[in-house]
Amino acid sequence: QVQLVESGGGLVQPGGSLRLSCTASGSFGSFRAMGWYRQAPGNQRELVAMLSGVGSTNYADSVKGRLTISRDNAKNTVFLQMNSLKPEDTAVYYCYAEIRSWTTGGAYREYWGQGTQITVSS
């Protein structure tokens, strides 16, 4: 079974930076997509940044120019570099991936990480 494990969350002051990482482990094939969602208290979970298997990126309008997604293919890890953080960035950030699973005969399946808390506060 595929698992996604996030790291890098924590407390940061407004204007500061953090880098999140998410590593996939288990038995799997190629990635169709991998990236990040976030959910603040009382809000719906929203897309933050996504990286496709062919290298294209997609960002929420609220984070464009401040957050950058990248991937280390050899380590099956995706990163989210978070700069110029704002209090409204405070949320639980969830890693997300669509991965080809050998347990389903090679079909792509969706996986979620457990989430990591990001708090932006002075």
Give the tens place of pLDDT for each residue, 41-51: 999 999 999 99
Whether residue 103 has pLDDT greater than 90: no
Whether residue 93 has pLDDT greater than 90: yes
Q: What is the pLDDT of residues 71-82, one digit of tens each?
A: 998 899 999 999
Strands (DSSP E) contained in 1-122 are: 3-7, 10-12, 18-25, 31-39, 46-52, 57-59, 67-72, 77-82, 91-100, 108-112, 116-120
Whether residue 21 has pLDDT greater than 90: yes
Q: How confident is the model at residue 23 (pLDDT cuts 50, 70, 90)?
A: very high
